[in-house]
Amino acid sequence: MDPLALGGLVALFTVVVLFSGVPVAVGLLIVATGFLYVFDGPRSLQALPELFYGDLNSFALLSIPMFIIMGAAISSTRAGPDLYEALERWLTRVPGGLLVSNLGACALFAAMSGSSPATCAAIGKMGIPEMRKRGYPDEVAAGSIAAGGTLGILIPPSVTMIVYGIATETSIGRLFLAGVLPGILLVSLFIAWAIFDTWRRGAAGVALSGVTYSWREKFEILPRVIPFIVIIAGVLYALYGGIATPSETAAVGALLCIVVAVVVYKMVQPAALWTVLRDSTRESVMILFIIGAAGVFSFMLSSLFVTQSIAAWIADLDVNRWVLMGVINVFLLVAGFFLPPVAVILMSAPILLPIITAAGFDPYWFAVIVTINMEIGLITPPVGLNLYVINGIAPDISLKKILVGSMPFVLCMVLAIIILSAFPSIVTWLPDYLMGPEL
C-alpha cells in the first residue's frame, strides 16, 4: 500500500478510536498496534513494550514530573493568593485592576510552574471568587483565569517545551529562553484587552469598587512575595551558575518549592503533602503514559514509511512558506481542540519539523508558535485541561460562559502568532543574545 494512502488510513482510524472516548494514550497504542500487526506482521508486536520503555528511558523526561511537582507544591499554599493580592494593592487605580492583577499573577506564577493546569489552579482558587464578589461577570472571571493559566506552558519552565525539545532534539535551555519574550508579549496583550474591555463596558466602577490601599498597605504585602523571588532566583542560579544541567534544575526547583511550602507556608500536615504528591503524580503519569504510547505510535508511522512520505510529499508541493505555515497552524489548532498538548506535539513534531526547517523556519520560533496553538487548545472543548480546573473551582459557571469569556483571549493568542510571524526576532533574540548563535 502507498505510504501516503496508509497515512490517510491511520489518520482516519486515529480519529475514530480517539472519539470513542478511550484514554488518548490507549488510543494511540491501539492504532499503532493494529497497523503494525496488519502491515508489518506479528513480529513487531514483540517490540511493543521495548518501544514504550525506550521512550520513557530518558533523563530529560525527569524534568516533566519535577516541574509539575514544583507547580503543585507552590499552588497548594497561600503563595498564589499572596502574589495576586500584592499586585492588586498596587493596581487598584488601573481600570480592571483586579483582572490585570490576576493576569499578572498568572504570568509570574507561570515562571515557576511547568504546567498550565497548575498555574490556573494556583491563581484561580482565589482569583475567580474574588472577581465574582467584586462584580465582574462570570464570563470575565472564568475566561481570564482559563486563558491566563495557559501562560504556564509558554513562560519557562514549560513541560510542553521539554517534550518539543525531546521530540525534535532541540536544546531545552534555548527553548525556555525563546518563550520569555513571547510570554511577556502575550500577557501584555491580555492585559491591554482587559483594560480596554473594562473601559468599553463602562465598568470602571466595578473595577475600582471603592477599595483603596494606603502606601503602608502597599509595602506591607511586599515581603510576602519574597518566596517567589527566592524560588525563581534559586532555579536561575542552579541553571546558569554551573550547578546543574537543565534536566537536573527541575529537581532543584521541585525541592525548593516543597521546602518553601513547608518552611514558609507551614505546610506540614501529611495530608497536605500527600495532596501535592498525588496531584503531581496524576498529571505526570498521565503525560508520561502518553509519551510512551506516542513513541510506539511514531514508531509505527516511521516503520510504515508514512512520516517520511508525508514530509517528502509536502516538500514537493512547493507552496508558499506562509501558506504552509497557515495550514500547519490550522492543523495544530484543530488537533489542540481534541488532544492535550503533549500528544499533539509528540504525534506531529517528527513529521512537521523536517518540513518546517526545509521551508526556512527556525525550529525555536516554531516551538513558540506550536506552544501558543496548544495554549488555545487548553481552553477549548472537548479536551481542555484548564476547563476542568475552572470547573473544579467554580462548578456553577457553565462551560459556555467560560468559552465566551476566554474567546477574546484566544483572539489575543491568534494576534500574538501573527505578530511573531511578522517579527520572528521577538523569539530568537533572547536565546541568541544569551547563548550565542544557534548550533
Partner 1 sequence: MSYSASAPRTLPLAIRLILGISTLCGIVASLMMFAAVLITCHMIFVRNVLNQSTVWQTEVVIYLMIAATLIGLSYVQKLRGHVGVDLLPTLLPQRMRRGLGIATLVVTAVMIAVMLYYGYDMWHFAWQRGWKSETVLAAPLWIPYLAIPVGFALFLLQLLADLWLSVTAFPMDAKGLPAIGLEMSEDY
Partner 2 sequence: ETLKLSHQWADGDVRHQVAQMVADDVAAAGVDLEIQIFPNQTLFKAREQYTPLSRGQLDMTILPLSYAGGQQPAYNLTLMPGLVKNHDHGARLSASPFMEEIEKVMAGDDVITLVHGYLAGGFGSNKDCITNPDDVNGVTIRAAGKSFEQMLASAGASISSMASSEIYPALQTGVLDATNTSSESFVSYRLYEQLTCYTPAGDFALWFMYQPLMMNKTTFDSLSAEQQTALVEAGKKAEAFYLEQAKLGDQIAADAFSNAGVELAQMTEEDFNAWVALAKTTSYPAFVEEMPDDGQRLLDLALAVE
Per CB under 8 A, residues contacting partner 1 are 18-27, 29-30, 33, 45-46, 48-50, 52-53, 56-59, 61-62, 65-66, 69, 117, 121, 125, 238, 243-244, 248, 251-252, 254-255, 258, 274-275, 277-286, 288-290, 292, 338-340, 381-383, 385, 388-389, 391-393
CA distances from 170 to 57, 64, 163, 288, 297 (A): 18, 16, 10, 19, 21
Are 238 and 252 spatial neighbours (Cβ–Cβ below 8 Å)? yes
Nearest-approach distance from CB 421 to partner 2, in angstroms:
28
Sign of CA pseudo-dihedral 234, 238, 243, 248: positive
Contacts with partner 2 by CB under 8 A lie at 43-44, 46-47, 50-51, 54-55, 57-60, 169, 171, 173, 239-247, 299, 302-303, 305, 307-308, 350, 435-436, 439
Nearest to 99 by CA among 213, 188, 198, 182: 198
Which cell numbers in the block locate residue 429? 533574540
Using CB under 5 A as the binding rule, the residues of this chain from 327 to 366 that contact Na ion are 337
d(CA 222, CA 214): 13
- Cis peptide bond prior to 157, omega within 30° of 0: yes
Residue 152 interface partner, choices partner 1, partner 2, Na ion, none, CB cut-off 5-8 Å depending on type: Na ion
Binding part of the chain for Na ion, among 11-19, 233-241, 273-281, 369-377 by CB under 5 A, reads 369-377
Choose the contact partner of 169 out of partner 1, Na ion, partner 2, none; CB within 5 to 8 A by kind: partner 2
Minimum Å distance from CB 58 to partner 2? 7
What is d(CA 254, CA 67) in angstroms, rounded to the nearest whole number? 6
| Shortest Å distance, C-beta 36 to partner 1 | 11
Identify what 110 binds: Na ion, partner 2, partner 1, none; CB under 5 to 8 Å per kind: Na ion
Which amino acid, 92? T
Q: Cβ 181 to partner 1, closest distance in Å?
A: 29
DSSP letters, 72-104, are HHHHTSTHHHHHHHHHHHH-TTSTTHHHHHHHH
Q: Which of partner 2, partner 1, Na ion, none is residue 54 near (CB under 5 to 8 Å by kind)?
A: partner 2
Q: Which does 171 bind (CB under 5 to 8 A by kind): partner 1, Na ion, partner 2, none?
A: partner 2
Binds Na ion by CB under 5 A, chosen from 150, 380, 386, 428:
380
In whole angstroms, give the CA distance from residue 53 to residue 293.
Answer: 10
Residue 19 binds which one of Na ion, partner 2, partner 1, none, with CB within 5 to 8 A depending on kind?
A: partner 1
Kindly report the number of other CB atoms within 10 A of residue 59's CB atom: 9
